[in-house]
């Protein structure tokens, strides 16, 4: 799916934005030109991405944001993940013997969405750390939706190759098709222009009148009416009660680097700290990049770490001891631990990541999602807004740490991260791809710090993924002799195409000698733009 001709690394000492679409990255740079800082620019990129890459994110979803303020040296997490509606229960889904949900009700339709957090999260970030208003940073997104935007390479492929998106979602929920299909009901192709007036009006109205328009006004009223009429569990009171949270990031070390990363309800930061600490004792530089020895050593650590993710859930509902899980004793105990089968594959990879840095050194690393392609498929009439299907991030079986409860946030794999050396930022990174976010961020960081790659090369390099079981998933650019040797050692190999979005969407900024080097993932139509 990748279009390598569109991805270029970028350099600047004034500001950098990198995301899953160059039009969205440019929106962030335009906001910097108007006096905005990295937080303002990141909000602009987020809103623009919801327009030009609508399969992955938007106002109907949520996310997790890591913010670094250069002047004070402080780091903050803003948690604006979706929450389970008030009428949700641990037994709300009918499950099969394999634990999966009958009728995919946690993937499709009115039982799949969590309460959206995107508008509230961006507004909180701007209030705490930004310089401009929500209306200011929303202008590029409104313009793109109202005046039209070209269908990107990846979006065109999603429309054309993944029939499920519009057969099961757009046709099952006609409001979505009304907004993003042609008048004859067929999908748009690469390069064709989509005008999305309903969504443009929603962004414009919410940004100008404040998030009360979303959580108390016309969006909440429209959603309540639709859900009540169609048997969904979400109500206006759920939006009225929604709150984004400020949280404290996790801090770890890898050699002479400090890692600042995500805290629960994400499992990604804990897993990244665990893995990098385990790899300190391995000379991966000596064993080489993507050799059979390196892949096997990494896989033996990945299995137990992915199993340990079962200990992570929403810290406001469950006891999650992050200090213990990232302690030297706990991490040492993971070495050689059995990890068993991979378990149910929740392969939602349809997330997006944004990395932004300004001339003062302020940084945002944020990951957002609608979860699966176009979320639940549900569009609230009159809003143009796709609702997420984040409820499938919960365990569908009662009695588990990550089981459904009203107001609860589901466990995530999001891993926005900043690496520091001697107190100065050196790498801003994060990814899309559900559970593969962790391995994508891990491999790009190792490519930079262990294998000495430049940031774009580190992102382009072929990836693999392992989280238990027998099979190692990998892109087919990993040489055949490496695959054969891993098979000889007892692994199964699950091959995927080159630059497959299965393996993430890493957007990163590497800082060298005061210069920001932006890298963007060709797996996601990525575009890095410098000021």
| Residue listed under structure tokens 């993944």 | 162
pLDDT tens by residue, 299-348: 999 999 999 999 999 999 999 999 999 999 999 999 988 786 665 545 55
Asked if pLDDT for residue 2 goes beyond 70, the answer is: no
DSSP letters of 496-513? E-TT-GGG---EEEEEET
Give me the pLDDT at residue 6, please: 57
pLDDT tens by residue, 359-391: 999 999 999 999 998 999 999 999 999 999 999
**Which tokens in the block code for residue 379?**
């569009």
**Which tokens in the block code for residue 389?**
């299907």
pLDDT tens by residue, 84-126: 999 999 999 998 887 789 999 999 999 999 999 999 999 999 9
- How much of the chain exceeds pLDDT 90, in percent? 87
CB 235 within 8 A of CB 86: yes
Map residue 275 onto helix, strand or coil.
Answer: helix
On the 0-12 / 13-18 / 19+ scale of CB atoms within 10 A, 163 is: exposed
The more confidently predicted of residues 150 and 281 is: 150
What mean pLDDT do residues 10-24 have? Answer: 97
Going by their DSSP bridges, the two strands 492-496 and 471-475 should be labelled as parallel
Residues assigned a catalytic role: 351
CB 54 within 8 A of CB 203: no
- Indicate the average pLDDT of the chain: 94
CA-CA distance, 390 to 407, in Å (whole number)?
Answer: 13
* pTM, rounded to two decimals: 0.96
| Residue of 83, 59, 67 lying closest to 142 (CA atoms) | 59
Residue spans per domain, the chain: 4-61+89-243+364-392
DSSP conformational letter for 166: I
Asked if pLDDT for residue 207 goes beyond 60, the answer is: yes
């Amino acid at each position: 799916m990748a279009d390598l001709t569109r991805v270029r690394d970028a350099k600047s000492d004034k500001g950098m934005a990198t995301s899953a679409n160059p039009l969205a990255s440019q929106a962030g740079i335009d906001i910097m030109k108007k006096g905005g800082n990295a937080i303002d620019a990141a909000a602009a990129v987020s809103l623009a991405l919801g327009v030009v890459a609508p399969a992955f994110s938007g106002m109907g979803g949520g996310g997790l944001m890591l913010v670094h303020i250069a002047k004070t040296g402080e780091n903050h997490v803003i948690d604006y993940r979706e929450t389970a509606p008030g009428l949700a229960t641990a037994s709300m889904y009918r499950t099969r013997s394999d634990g999966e949900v009958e009728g995919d009700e946690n993937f499709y339709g009115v039982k799949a969405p969590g309460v959206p957090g995107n508008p509230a999260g961006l507004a909180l970030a701007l209030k705490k750390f930004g310089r401009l208003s929500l209306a200011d940073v929303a202008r590029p997104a409104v313009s793109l939706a109202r005046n039209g935007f070209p269908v990107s390479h990846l979006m065109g492929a999603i429309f054309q190759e993944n029939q499920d998106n519009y057969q099961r979602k757009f046709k099952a929920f006609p409001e979505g098709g009304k907004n993003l299909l042609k008048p004859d009901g067929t999908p748009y192709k690469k390069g064709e222009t989509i005008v999305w007036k309903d969504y443009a009006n929603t962004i414009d109205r919410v940004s100008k009148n404040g998030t009360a328009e979303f959580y108390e006004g016309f969006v909440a009223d429209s959603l309540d009416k639709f859900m009540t009429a169609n048997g969904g569990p979400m109500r206006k009171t759920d939006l009225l009660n929604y709150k984004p949270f400020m949280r404290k990031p996790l801090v770890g070390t890898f050699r002479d680097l400090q890692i600042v990363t995500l805290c629960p309800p994400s499992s990604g930061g804990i897993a990244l700290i665990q893995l990098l600490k385990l790899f300190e004792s391995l000379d991966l530089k000596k064993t080489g990049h993507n050799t059979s020895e390196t892949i096997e050593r990494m896989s033996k650590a990945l299995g137990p770490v992915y199993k340990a993710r079962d200990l992570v859930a929403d810290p406001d509902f469950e006891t999650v001891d992050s200090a213990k899980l990232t302690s030297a004793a706990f991490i040492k105990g993971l070495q050689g631990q059995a990890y068993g089968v991979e378990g149910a594959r929740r392969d939602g990879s349809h997330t997006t990541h944004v990395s932004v840095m300004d001339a003062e050194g302020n940084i945002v690393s944020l990951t957002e999602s609608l979860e699966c392609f176009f979320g639940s498929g549900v569009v609230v009439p009159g809003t143009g807004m796709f609702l997420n299907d984040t409820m499938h991030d919960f365990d569908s079986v009662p009695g588990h740490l990550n089981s459904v409860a009203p107001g609860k946030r589901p466990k995530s794999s999001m891993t926005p991260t900043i690496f520091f050396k001697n107190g100065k930022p050196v790498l801003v990174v994060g990814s899309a791809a559900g559970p593969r976010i962790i391995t994508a961020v891990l491999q790009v960081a190792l490519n930079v710090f262990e294998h000495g790659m430049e940031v774009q090369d580190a992102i382009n390099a072929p990836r693999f993924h392992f989280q238990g079981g027998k099979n190692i998933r990998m892109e087919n650019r990993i040489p055949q002799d490496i695959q054969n040797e891993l098979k000889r050692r007892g692994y199964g190999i699950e091959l995927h195409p080159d630059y497959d979005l299965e393996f993430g969407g890493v957007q990163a900024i590497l800082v060298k000698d005061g210069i920001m080097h932006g890298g963007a993932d060709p797996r996601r139509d990525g575009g890095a733009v410098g000021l």
